[in-house]
Chains A and B, each alone.
Chain A
């Protein structure tokens, strides 16, 4: 297992809280994610793992606490969050592919609009990405023709086209038919192998064990336990972790 403690820090979270009215969803989360790390967030539903992930790019506005991304405190009100989001790719449970654009436009759209790449560069890059995930022949199709697994692979490369420094996955396989889970996980594995920093909310324990460097177990808005997959899955210390694992493994 690679040791990432010497790698540069990419994201630092300090005492993050989030409440929705009376509902206190995150109750003080602190963590450090290093460059190249692949971290998975596991835990029972309602434990706050998705909310935590969505706070990282402020799709969910934290109620208090700080998040430093690349050394910048992105919870500051004054900063332009759009610029930082360009460097944080996100993949959603329900794909959220843009249905009014062709497959390739889904990918080229943001880099071109945001002035990151020229139209020609973006197209070339998109074609590379599409062939990497086996979708090049769908290039000019409308997304409605794609299967769930294909849509999710498209969503992943759409985010990659912005050349992000970290990829956030919010239950990327939960809405997929079982036979399509593998093809999406394979793409994420490939990313992890190429040292892309990934934070993944998942219910796929086998995947978390195989691919991740670190697993965080969350329950009731806090990180109860964390460690290498081997430690956490085979020798859980916290009784709540044990209880959860006994139900899902």
Chain B
């Protein structure tokens, strides 16, 4: 089996690398934009405007209570349907769906982080004359960020692994390449082991990096 893995690697190395690239790109997009979206939605959820609060809550609940695969299908068919003039690629539709999915989970992480900060911090900042926006950006979020780092790390890892569902639509991620290669070579376990190791290395590195960051921030205290 080992020599077959080596042969697969030498023959389809670039294919695996291409898959790795796409997976990383999808992960980066859904984690990065999902983070920003999540932070915004979290603000809406704890904000004072009732309609925004209702919209944010509905969004989070719908996304959390339906399967990701269903959401992927939904956006895959819905987006080109309602925005035909944009000529969206498969990849874009899937990326949008992943962002919207991870945004909802990130929103919950951010919300719990923001609410974990003592009200006194906000009061002290407001009493100095800071606006609520300045207070959020300069006082609450920096402290909340430190508290949510472990939960955020879990989200990053989960999102990265979930990009594998995108292979249902053949967008060229690692899991897609597995299907391609195993279709060509009639090998199942070997390519699976290879992409398994690649996934492991990505997520393991990510959690280690975040652990380092976490330790750094702690030393700051």
Contacts and interface: CB of A to CB of B under 8 A. Distances in A.
Contact of A113 (B118, B124, B126, B134): B134
B221 A113 contact: no
A53 to B, nearest CB: 11
Interface string A7-49: 0000000000000000000000000000000000000000000
A57 interface: yes
B126 A59 contact: yes
Nearest to A58: B126
A162 B168 CA distance: 59
Contacts of B129: 82-83, 85-86, 110, 114, 162
Interface stretch (A65-73, A95-103, A211-219, A222-230): A95-103
Contacts of A100: 142-143, 146, 220
Interface in A144-163: 144, 155, 158-159, 162
Contacts of B118: 94, 96
A221 interface: no
Contacts of B124: 90, 92, 96-98, 155
Contacts of A159: 127-128
A126 interface: no
A162 B128 contact: yes
B127 A57 contact: yes
B142 A86 contact: no
A99 B221 contact: yes
B139 interface: yes
User: Taking each of A59, A86, A100, which has the highest tally of chain B beta carbons within 10 Å of its own beta carbon?
Assistant: A100
Interface string B116-147: 00101101111111110010001100110010
B132 to A, nearest CB: 9
Contacts of B142: 100
Contacts of A89: 127-128
A110 B130 contact: yes
Contacts of B146: 100
Contacts of A113: 130, 134, 138
Contacts of B220: 100, 142
B127 A90 contact: yes
Q: Chain A CB within 10 Å — which of B120, B124, B139, B146 has the most?
A: B124
Contacts of B125: 98, 110
A57 B134 CA distance: 18
B127 A85 contact: yes
A88 B126 CA distance: 11
B196 to A, nearest CB: 40
Nearest to B124: A96
B143 A99 contact: yes
Interface string A132-144: 0000000000101
A114 B126 CA distance: 12
Given A113-B134, A113-B138, A96 B121 contact: yes
Interface string A168-191: 100000000000000000000000
B143 A85 contact: no
Contact of B120 (A92, A158, A162): A92
Contacts of A144: 221
B122 to A, nearest CB: 9
B221 to A, nearest CB: 5
Nearest to B138: A113
Q: List the 6 closest pairs (A to B, CB-CB), nearest first.
A: A86-B129, A96-B124, A90-B127, A96-B120, A110-B128, A85-B129
27 contacts: A59-B123, A59-B126, A59-B127, A82-B129, A82-B131, A85-B128, A86-B129, A90-B124, A90-B127, A92-B120, A94-B120, A96-B121, A96-B123, A96-B124, A97-B124, A98-B125, A99-B221, A100-B142, A100-B220, A110-B128, A110-B129, A110-B130, A113-B130, A114-B128, A114-B129, A144-B221, A162-B129
Interface of A: 57, 59, 82-83, 85-86, 88-90, 92, 94, 96-100, 109-110, 113-114, 142, 144, 155, 158-159, 162, 168
Given A82-B126, A86-B129, 14 more contacts: A57-B127, A83-B129, A90-B127, A92-B120, A92-B123, A94-B118, A96-B124, A98-B124, A109-B138, A110-B128, A110-B130, A114-B128, A114-B130, A162-B128
